Amino acid sequence: MATSMVCLVALCLVSPLLLAGAVRGNPGYGGGLFPQFYEHSCPKAKEIVHSIVAQAVARETRMAASLVRLHFHDCFVKGCDASVLLDNSTTIVSEKGSNPNNNSIRGFEVVDEIKVALETACPGVVSCADILAIAARDSTILVGGPYWDVPLGRRDSLGASIQGSNNDIPAPNNTLPTIITKFKRLGLNIVDVVALSGGHTIGLSRCTSFRQRLYNQSGNGLADNTLDVSYAAQLRQGCPRSGGDNNLFPLDVVTSTKFDNFYFKNILAGRGLLSSDEVLLTKSAETAALVKAYADDVHLFFQHFAQSMVNMGNIMPLTGSQGEIRKNCRRLNNFH
């Protein structure tokens, strides 16, 4: 009976939300973006990006997760406009120095390499924002995840927002309502929250992002009681009470280099690494139903993840004559 109730809840929740997501992602792809944008102006663009991303992921599997995260941290701040790639200058305070990004965000050299190749093939045509969107899709596929058509035609920002980066990116210790609010503000829904969290099926996290769960979750000096005891003991060995801030741990303890649904199975077993992972199960029946549905059905997860990546990629793009096409992703064209 309990099982059938969960299934009913999952179906009731997933269907309307999935439909909303599907409808939202399709017509015109939002903001005038479409997958064939470079078909005539730079026909080899996608091939060039794929080739360089494939080499980078072959050198270091972790790079796949880093490139997906770069796109995420770009889109959540002023939209998908490559603002995250800008370095400090006389006029720019770089988002790279924000709390979520400092000593953490990576993959910039891969983007540089892609940009150089694209500028050689088609000077001034392919935006840095579109490079991030294609690289995130290719990274996902290269480690076993789903394919999706990437809507293209974004242009690059003329500024950055360190305040936006500090305030708008969901944090590992945010409450679930805060996380949901940060998504909803950008036009994303509950399915997007849970599906995109599933990106944590690959990649690594620093000790500083989950230490409080091991030692002092609610200010009472005790570990988070939703954390599996043996898993917590294992984590404490490499993440001491103080020091070791940058020690790295897999976000998916079972298959950290493969894009699959073990992230959700782990959460059900009390082996989600971050507080923001665990609260998907423990703080809302709606998100818990999706965690269970994805743990049961990898195809459903892949379908939702692909659609949610399109939805995220559609956040406030610059198009037409807005912004510019940067020649170097780290600086504005009129750099001084």
Pairing of strands 248-250, 204-206: antiparallel
Confidence of residue 30 (pLDDT cuts 50, 70, 90): low
**pLDDT for res 53:** 98
Q: Is the pLDDT of residue 78 over 70?
A: yes
11 token code pair: 């179906």
Q: Active-site residue 304, yes or no?
A: no
**pLDDT for res 135:** 98
pLDDT in tens, 281-310: 999 999 999 999 999 999 999 999 999 999
Query: Does residue 17 or residue 194 have the better pLDDT?
Result: 194
Q: Residue 323 belongs to what H/E stretch?
A: none
pLDDT in tens, 210-226: 999 999 877 888 889 99
Average pLDDT over residues 224-229: 94
pTM: 0.91
Buried-state track 13-40, b at ≥16 Cβ within 10 A, e below 16: bbeebbeebeebbeeebbbebebebbee
Lowest pLDDT segment from 27-41, 240-254, 257-271, 295-309: 27-41
Q: Which of 71, 73, 200, 304 is catalytic?
A: 73
**pLDDT for res 219:** 82
Please provide the average confidence, as pLDDT, over all residues in the chain.
92
